[in-house]
Structure 1
Amino acid sequence: MRVEIDQHACVGSGQCLLTAPDVFDQRDSDAIVELLTDTPPDGQEQLVRNAARGCPAAAIGVVED
């Protein structure tokens, strides 16, 4: 699995950070999503899928290997 983000689409809701804090963060200046890793740690895959599904701006993409 690989995670992709679109910072231009992000609206800064923070749902991704709440769902998968080991993978996502937010910039302090404007709350836009930042990716901590594009390969989720073991056991975090479903959390990342949930974060992608729950993103109100559809700014998170998941590419399955």
Structure 2
Amino acid sequence: MALLINDLCINCDVCAPACPNTAISQGEVIYEIDPARCTECVGHFDEPQCQVVCPVECIELDPAHNETQQQLEEKLRGLLNESLG
């Protein structure tokens, strides 16, 4: 699953730099996670780094983007190919 940032976000800006896939950006009101870029840090870390650094625990699984481990790995490969080419 991709992750999402809920309305408890305090806009502290610690999550965006922690994301290895640059999936997090400032939205109109709070930070947002691009589900097309979020791999839950699969291939980079054992756990999502945005959740690790978030001081208010406002980052949760996005039920609208249910993905298997294999799908997350395939998404990561696509992102890596995109950056190479």
The answer, yes or no, to whether TM exceeds 0.5 is yes
What is the DSSP-based 3-state SS (H/G/I as helix, E as strand, rest coil) of the residue aligned with 1:14? coil
The gaps in structure 1 that reach 5 residues or longer are none
Larger radius of gyration: 2
- Please provide the CA RMSD for this pair: 3.1
Per residue, is there more strand in 1 or in 2? 1
Q: Distance in 2 between matches of 1:12 and 1:57?
A: 10
Q: Percent identity?
A: 16
What is the DSSP-based 3-state SS (H/G/I as helix, E as strand, rest coil) of the residue aligned with 2:51? helix
Q: Distance in 2 between matches of 1:48 and 1:61?
A: 12
Q: Distance in 2 between matches of 1:15 and 1:7?
A: 15
Residue 42 of structure 1 and its aligned partner are, at CA, apart by 6.0
Structure 1 length-normalised TM: 0.63
The gaps in structure 2 that reach 5 residues or longer are 69-85
Task: Report if aligned partners of 1:24, 1:36 keep a CA contact under 8 Å in 2.
Answer: yes
Task: Report if aligned partners of 1:6, 1:60 keep a CA contact under 8 Å in 2.
Answer: yes
Per residue, is there more helix in 1 or in 2? 2
Structure 2 length-normalised TM: 0.52
1 or 2 for the larger relative contact order (CA 8 Å, sep ≥6)? 1
